[in-house]
């Protein structure tokens, strides 16, 4: 299934009417089921996403949910149309009452549908690196690089992006999706599928606002710095401070607001 489709539309410019086929980002459902050996499948939920990099999306999602700790917990991912069956190895323990969703996980939702909060707000993340330092010039460059590489956004204007950058400001990878949480899951899943360690001296830039879910996923992946183009939420700031994450929001060229971890940001 394509990530971008055409739909008939009527465009008005200065009262002039033009009928065109417009490029629109695809949104469709994928059902996620877990399987242990010959046991019956356990349904985790349905995710609304943009097709493409589905294995990365699923891997990142399962990692951030705490269902897997590494790519080695997955024996196989089988995707048929809009059904994904994840064969987990026998050593992986899953508490289905925690992870089963009560409804569809929409493209705007991160933790929606959880049957209980549990320890969600008091999770244990990795120790975040204190070795990374970046400055405004580097952040400006990162914003430009991310925008230049948002291929789906350029065509449709309808996608979010998450991008990884090295300490030197080099773009490592970018992922896009109609859902901002999905874009982050795809980025994290791609890293896990390469069987790399959690990130250390890297930072992540997100195209939207800094929600709790994105801060949560950034910390789980090991990013010491998260930069958002949009506004943060109160809970995102509180969790960032609690875990020592540097959170910068309202990032524009030559300006931004730092809500936690000022020590990792240099002026020049």
Active site residues: 109
Query: End-to-end alpha-carbon separation of the chain, Å?
Result: 45
For 31, the enclosing helix (H) or strand (E) is strand 28-36
- The string over 27-60, giving b where at least 16 C-beta atoms fall within 10 Å of a residue's C-beta and e elsewhere, is beebbbebbbeeeeebebbbbbbbbbbbbbbbbb
Tokens at residue 110, please? 């991160």
Helix and strand element counts for the chain (H, E): 7, 15
How far is residue 145's CA from residue 137's CA, in Å, rounded to a whole number? 12
Residue 218 CB contacts under 8 Å (≥ 6 apart), including other chains: 184, 204, 226, 245
How far is residue 217's CA from residue 197's CA, in Å, rounded to a whole number? 15
How far is residue 73's CA from residue 3's CA, in Å, rounded to a whole number? 28
Length of the chain: 268
How far is residue 50's CA from residue 177's CA, in Å, rounded to a whole number? 5
DSSP, collapsed to helix, strand or coil, labels residue 225 as: strand
Q: In which residue are the tokens 């809009």 written?
A: 82
How far is residue 232's CA from residue 111's CA, in Å, rounded to a whole number? 17
């Amino acid at each position: 299934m394509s990530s971008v489709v055409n739909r008939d539309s009527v465009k008005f410019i200065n009262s002039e009417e033009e009928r065109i086929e417009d490029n629109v980002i695809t949104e469709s459902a994928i059902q996620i089921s877990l399987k242990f050996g010959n046991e019956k499948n356990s349904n985790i939920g349905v995710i609304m996403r943009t097709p493409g990099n589905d294995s990365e999306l699923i891997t990142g999602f399962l990692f951030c949910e705490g269902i897997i700790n590494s790519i080695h917990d997955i024996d196989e991912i089988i995707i048929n149309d809009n059904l994904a069956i994840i064969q987990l190895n026998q050593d992986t323990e899953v508490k289905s009452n925690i992870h089963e969703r009560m409804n569809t996980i929409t493209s705007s939702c991160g933790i929606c549908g959880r049957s209980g909060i549990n320890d969600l707000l008091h999770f244990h993340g990795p120790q975040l690196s204190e070795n990374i330092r970046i400055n405004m010039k580097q952040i400006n460059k990162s914003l430009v690089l991310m925008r230049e590489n948002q291929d789906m956004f350029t065509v449709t204007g309808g996608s979010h992006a998450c991008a990884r950058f090295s300490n030197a400001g080099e773009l490592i990878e970018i992922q896009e999706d109609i859902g901002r949480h999905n874009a982050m899951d795809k980025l994290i899943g791609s890293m896990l599928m390469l069987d790399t360690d959690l990130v250390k001296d890297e930072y992540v830039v997100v195209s939207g606002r800094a929600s709790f879910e994105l801060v949560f996923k950034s910390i789980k992946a090991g990013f010491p710095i998260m930069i958002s183009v949009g506004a943060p939420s109160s809970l995102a700031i509180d969790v960032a401070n609690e875990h020592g994450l540097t959170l910068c929001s309202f990032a524009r060229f030559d300006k931004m607001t730092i809500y936690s971890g000022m020590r990792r940001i240099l002026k020049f």
